[in-house]
Amino acid sequence: MSKRPDREELKKEISKRGLAMTADEADKLAGYVDRLPTPLEFHLFDTMWSEHCSYKSSKSVLKTLPTDSPGVVIGPGEDAGVVSFCHQDGKEWDLVVAHESHNHPSQVLPVEGAATGIGGIVRDVYCMGARVTGSMDLLRFGDPQGKKGETTRGIVRGVVEGIWKYGNALGVPNMGGDTEFHPGYDDNCLVNVVAFGVVPHDRIVHSFVPEQAHKEPYVLILTGKPTDSTGFGGATFASADLDGELGMGSVQVADPFLKRVLSEANQAVLDMLFEKEVEFGFKDLGAGGIACVTSELAAHGGLGIDVDLDAVPVSVKNLPPEVIACSETQERYGLAVPATVIDDVLNIYNEKFELPRLFPNCRAAVIGKFTSKPMYNVVCRGENAAETPINYITEGVVYEREELPIENEIVEPDSRPCNPSVDLVKILTSVSGCSREHIWSYYDSEVQGVTRLRPGEADSCVSVPIEGSRVGLAVSGDGNPWYGELDPFLGGAHAVGEAVRNVVATGATPICATDCLNFGNPEDPKAFWQFKQAVAGISEGCNTLGFSGGDFPLPIVSGNVSFYNQSIGGKAIPPSPIVAVFGKIHDHRKATDIVLRKEGNLILLIGTRKDELGGSIFYRTCLNHHGGTVPVFKGALEKKMADWVLSTIHDGKAFSVHDISIGGLAVAGAEMALASGKLGIEFSLDSNPVTLFSETPGYLMEVDGRFIEDITLPEFVSVAGKVCNKSSVSGNGWFVNLEALRKEWSDKLASIVWREEGV
């Protein structure tokens, strides 16, 4: 092979191949192989060293996140995080959680981007050996009525279509999520996806070749859709600026139908392997395709591998080796198994589940052999396509990025006129404040028959994922861009705080969290500062909101970083740390929703209101003001409130509970009434903007009047009003008839985004 190239030559290669790596990185690679790298090696390392795969800018910051807690089985590092969940019939069950972004693809191809986003995250949970029991989409779009409203509306429609067309077909219940609109996302929407599932503890599957492979011959079986050129360069695309142009190669085509069949076939294969008691490794194909899955399965198990690309089932003839190896064709998995079970595995995929009949050339095939020599060797049509010491591939790169604080001056509005009867209506019929019902109405939230509380019925969705067990799983994802923009630290902390409250409000105890960190260009010191601040905020939130006793934090067990989210002009999106929290309720029957139960019951306010309306929907919608003091994050107080709410629910004293966040107390009360049909709330509080609309964290709780006679309420709990038999919400000097408002509140989003009325 040729001798080691100089820098000029490397730069030419980079530009010729459209690589994202720097000349320094290319030089490092050339040093590893001591010659001109092959095209396959260039593309493989380009993927492995992309921000998406290597976390090269974020790694040192992510280390500061709390990840350790007694229940954690597998923390960040593998495809998904695993925590201990419950015992049932002598069996130990674990919860598997994963969280990712699919932002850039969704901006360009909303339907396919959102669809492959779900596809990818669900594969991450499947490949830990779990059954996937839920997914969730956390969406951030531009202003559908703003300057780029037309593009935004098309993207919203497309993303929702992608989610239902793909997600519903998979048979995984969609547990909702949240949707926010902010003009800062006009050129760069965010599509964050969460998936979770359950697995018996002794059936967790790892994404590396097992120890036994050092003693007997092991092979790599590739299964699923035949490889084509789709998604070639996908990982580097996910990590590079959006410039509005991309080659067709980057389009990933999702196929939920194959995925569903493949998932069932995988389950049958895993059952067979466990029955035969053979050790194996299993990993989904994502960024970097075959090249990543083969090298990672081998390297993380301390072995090398010989890969034969001629054995790879393809749908297009004569693809160059780097395309076969690095394309991101969807719906594929890699399996490391002993050579003795090859026939059994192939039989399940190719005969029992008839993959080849369902899609031309879709099948399982042996494409590699693990070797004791730690080399990554790939041959294609008789030629060496790669020959690299394998540890270099997974070694990664790290950068220390510079940061530059942004001074945000706090500006409060000059005056705060407030007419609650008018303002509340304005908020509830705004795009930010109206119901998300229309979006959920496309989602199948009930497949599998395990759903206990659906989107909109309670603060978090609750399911009962293990047959025969009463243990419920609650899940919520949050992140307020308006806070992040004013104060990224508080944006991070409140993302944790709100997700925790949402889970707690249903009676579930938070057990773990995941995060997706969406920011601008990390090479821009200001954007990198925002990133670091938000991570510090999440750490603060998690460190103060641990529920495992002692000083243990709420552990972050999985997550993802998405950089380079910015406008066409290069302006970064609002700092968008998005956090999902998972909670466990021992007896799902005790789970609380937001539906009011009985006229005359008392409404308790948990969390004293403070004058901190910065970033609030009241300021934005009623005063057209975008500044102000963001609510302070008081972790210790939040923890105390959560503990009190949980114990009250577990004692069976709370009839309904709703957290106070966007829109404050008035909106929380209105949402409870809107969910309840004929009942409403009469507040007995002062009618000022701080009391009604400040977004200080808290809860509303419906209890029987006798409940407070017997106990001393903590200082953060007070009586706020009572349940009345009218569909309304009212207070001193104000009244809003919700019956009249209901249609507009629930239909607003559809009218603007789907029907384009009045835009």
Q: Scan residues 298-317 and list those touching other proteins (CB under 8 A).
A: 315
* Phi-psi label, residue 354: left if phi above 0, alpha if psi -120 to 50, beta otherwise: left
- Kindly determine how many residues on this chain lie close enough to bind other proteins according to the rule CB under 8 A: 75
Q: Supply 416's token pair.
A: 């705060």
Instruction: Point out which span in 57-65, 297-305, 358-366, 416-424 binds other proteins (CB under 8 A).
Output: 358-366
Q: Scan residues 471-490 and list those touching other proteins (CB under 8 A).
A: none
- Residue 346 binds to other proteins (criterion: CB under 8 A): no
- Residue 354 binds to other proteins (criterion: CB under 8 A): yes
- Residue 625 binds to other proteins (criterion: CB under 8 A): no
DSSP state of 589: G
State the minimum distance, in angstroms, from the CB of residue 257 to other proteins. 4
Instruction: Determine which one of 43, 99, 102, 494 is catalytic.
Output: 102
Q: Choose between 77 and 652: whose C-beta lies nearer to other proteins.
A: 652
* Phi-psi label, residue 607: left if phi above 0, alpha if psi -120 to 50, beta otherwise: left
337 in Cβ contact with 347 (< 8 Å): no
- Residue 261 binds to other proteins (criterion: CB under 8 A): yes
Q: Supply 441's token pair.
A: 């109405």
Q: Supply 624's token pair.
A: 């057209």
State the minimum distance, in angstroms, from the CB of residue 141 to other proteins. 14
Closest-CA residue to 294 (of 244, 341, 350, 336): 336
- Residue 89 binds to other proteins (criterion: CB under 8 A): no
Q: Scan residues 115-154 and list those touching other proteins (CB under 8 A).
A: 150-151, 154
Q: Choose between 161 and 611: whose C-beta lies nearer to other proteins.
A: 161
- Residue 366 binds to other proteins (criterion: CB under 8 A): no
Q: What count of other Cβ atoms lies within 10 Å of the Cβ of residue 143?
A: 17
Q: Scan residues 176-235 and list those touching other proteins (CB under 8 A).
A: 230
Q: What count of other Cβ atoms lies within 10 Å of the Cβ of residue 3?
A: 9
698 in Cβ contact with 665 (< 8 Å): yes
Q: Choose between 18 and 171: whose C-beta lies nearer to other proteins.
A: 171
Instruction: Point out which span in 368-376, 449-457, 522-530, 619-627 binds other proteins (CB under 8 A).
Output: 449-457
Instruction: Determine which one of 43, 52, 206, 658 is catalytic.
Output: 52
Of positions 93, 141, 392, 440, contacts other proteins by CB under 8 A = 440
State the minimum distance, in angstroms, from the CB of residue 582 to other proteins. 20
Instruction: Point out which span in 32-40, 115-123, 352-360, 642-650 binds other proteins (CB under 8 A).
Output: 352-360
268 in Cβ contact with 348 (< 8 Å): yes
Evaluated on CA atoms 197, 200, 201, 203, the torsion sign reads negative
**Residue 102 known to be catalytic:** yes
548 in Cβ contact with 70 (< 8 Å): yes
- Residue 108 binds to other proteins (criterion: CB under 8 A): yes
Q: Scan residues 646-665 and list those touching other proteins (CB under 8 A).
A: 652
Q: What is the C-alpha end-to-end distance of the chain, expressed in Å? A: 62
State the minimum distance, in angstroms, from the CB of residue 441 to other proteins. 6
Contacts of residue 720, Cβ cutoff 8 Å, sequence gap at least 6: 603, 604, 605, 665, 683, 684, 685, 700
String marking each residue 450-469 x if it binds other proteins according to CB under 8 A: xxxxx--x------x--x--
Helix (H) or strand (E) holding 124: helix 110-126
Of positions 4, 260, 526, 650, contacts other proteins by CB under 8 A = 260
Helix (H) or strand (E) holding 518: strand 509-518
Residue with tokens 């139908």: 257
State the minimum distance, in angstroms, from the CB of residue 108 to other proteins. 5
State the minimum distance, in angstroms, from the CB of residue 657 to other proteins. 12
Query: Three-class SS string for 138-198?
Result: EEEECCCCCCCHHHHHHHHHHHHHHHHHHHHHHCCCEEEEEEEECHHHCCCCEEEEEEEEE
- Residue 722 binds to other proteins (criterion: CB under 8 A): no
Q: Supply 730's token pair.
A: 């009212």
Q: Which amino acid is at 91?
A: K
Q: Which amino acid is at 242?
A: L
Q: Choose between 169 and 637: whose C-beta lies nearer to other proteins.
A: 169
Of positions 32, 164, 274, 716, contacts other proteins by CB under 8 A = 164
Please report how the helices 635-650 and 525-544 are oriented relative to each other, as an axis angle in degrees rounded to 10: 40
State the minimum distance, in angstroms, from the CB of residue 444 to other proteins. 5
- Half-sphere exposure in the Cβ direction for 375 (13 Å, CA): 12
Q: Choose between 523 and 587: whose C-beta lies nearer to other proteins.
A: 587
Q: Scan residues 671-710 and list those touching other proteins (CB under 8 A).
A: 675-677
Q: Scan residues 373-412 and list those touching other proteins (CB under 8 A).
A: none
Of positions 274, 359, 399, 735, contacts other proteins by CB under 8 A = 359
State the minimum distance, in angstroms, from the CB of residue 499 to other proteins. 22
- Residues annotated as catalytic (active site), given as ranges: 52, 102
